[in-house]
Amino acid sequence: MSDQPFQPSSAPVPPPPSCQEPPPLELVTEKLAFGGQAIARLDRFVYFVDDALPGETVRAVVYKRKKNFAFARAVEILKASPDRVPPTCPWMGRCGGCALRHCAPAAQLRLKRDILVEALHALPAAQALVAPVVPSPHTDDYRNKMVYSFGETLDGELRLGLHRRGSYIHILPADDCLLQSAASREIVRRTVALANRLHIGAFHEIKKTAGLRTLMVREARHTGQRLVELLATADFPGLAEAFSAEMQGLADTVYVSIDHNIRGTPTASDRRLIRGPGYLVETLGGLRFRVGPDTFFQSNTEQAEALFRAVAEEAVRDGSIPAVALDLFTGTGPIALRLASASPATRVYGVESWAPSVEAARLNAAENHIANVSFQVADVNRALPPGLPSHADLVVVDPPRPGLSNAAIDWILRMTPADILYVSCNPSTLARDLATIAAKAPAYVPLAVRPFDLFPHTYHLETLVHLRLVPFS
């Protein structure tokens, strides 16, 4: 395999002799889609164009065609947008890690806001409230967690990094990846050097030959602690001891685990702690949190603090203090614990479907000496979890990308909370759920729509929406 850095003005890589690549098209792009592609139209047909920005004229090659639209890749920029900047990563256009590194940071914020505004087109009251996107304090080195995959080139070179866009077997090296910290980059370099010294190759996703599969690096930005987990598909003699020694001075907790599930998603089915307490401790909003290898924790620590601070602000808007609050999809409890610590008079219930996260949330409550909060394991999207009160003054939801189920919306509305705070990572499902709430309970009106950029150089966006129950007079 040979991977060269992407150059927008260079000719496309020639296809294999057995494939006839369609001739390039000249397209004029209009706007950015949620997904990072620029949208173009030609002869009443829609194209989603990789590596292009709105307002550009590009020469593009179609690589996937559907009935009513197609996906294309920009191979030459004929007229560039004023928002285009030289990408700071040589793998821009090939790596799946960043989609907007060729776009100026200020323009990224504007384009993300445009995506959110368009998603809310059927909800004019909410659309009118969309605030400017809160920028991340840092646009590089901001991720506190990275999971890298191992792979090999055709000539046997071991690689550790991120998947090439659209591929699950081709790996681009991450020793200079700007999403991670300098210490994380050094961990990547040392791991590759160690594997080469020990003559341990990469697990082959097709042949299923034994080898190294992934490396996870987690960092506590405020305490400086690090946790690493090297995942292999076999127990290689001497690997655990050598890896632990290589991580001296770089990681406080070291795992070398075995993945027996070689036909599925990489999973530490036999987790082995080699050194350290098994978790790291991070501080967020003055609270301490235990973060283990499987614990969900927002990947941008500083921006997560800004988001959770905004949730706390909206929870007491106009001076109202809820007596009973629900935090649904609570994870390890950062929102629930913040609400409980801010108001000892508020009783907070956190609900999460992933049992290890609930266990971590309970430990976090004890660690922070917070008694007015409880956590339970339940699937919010299936039915009203047992043990919850019949009424809540405040309900906070922070669902994954698919959003809320109709069942969840129904039982939340039956609680008639005075305020609903919806934290979303997907503008499309956010708009769908807000429309469902508006149809079922039109007395809930939006008070605020506050977007946050937690993932610079990507199309992802977090949004906080505040709904308040305003009974009809």
Residues known to be catalytic: 425
CA atoms of 410 and 367, how far apart (whole Å): 35
Q: To which residue do tokens 């000539």 refer?
A: 155
Block residue for tokens 């934290």: 423
3-state helix, strand, coil in the chain (%, to 5): 25, 30, 50
Virtual torsion, Cα 369, 385, 281, 321, nearest 10 deg? -50
The backbone region for 327, taken as left when phi is positive above 0, alpha when psi lies in -120 to 50, beta otherwise, is beta
Amino acid at 12: P
Taking a C-beta distance cutoff of 8 angstroms, is the pair 330, 340 a contact?
no
Instruction: Name residue 7's amino acid.
Output: Q
Dihedral pair phi/psi, residue 184, rounded to 5°: -65, -40
Beta strands at 324-328 and 394-397: parallel, antiparallel or unpaired: parallel
CA distance 322 to 456: 34
- Strand runs labelled E in 206-302: 212-219, 226-232, 253-258, 273-275, 280-284, 287-291
By three-state DSSP, how is residue 105 classified? helix
The first and second tokens of residue 118, run together, are 């368009």
Q: Cα–Cα distances in Å, from 363 out to 104, 271, 286, 292?
A: 42, 21, 16, 12
Of 270, 389, 271, 396, the closest CA to residue 330 belongs to 396
- For residues 58 and 27, give the distance between their C-alpha atoms in angstroms, rounded to a whole number: 5
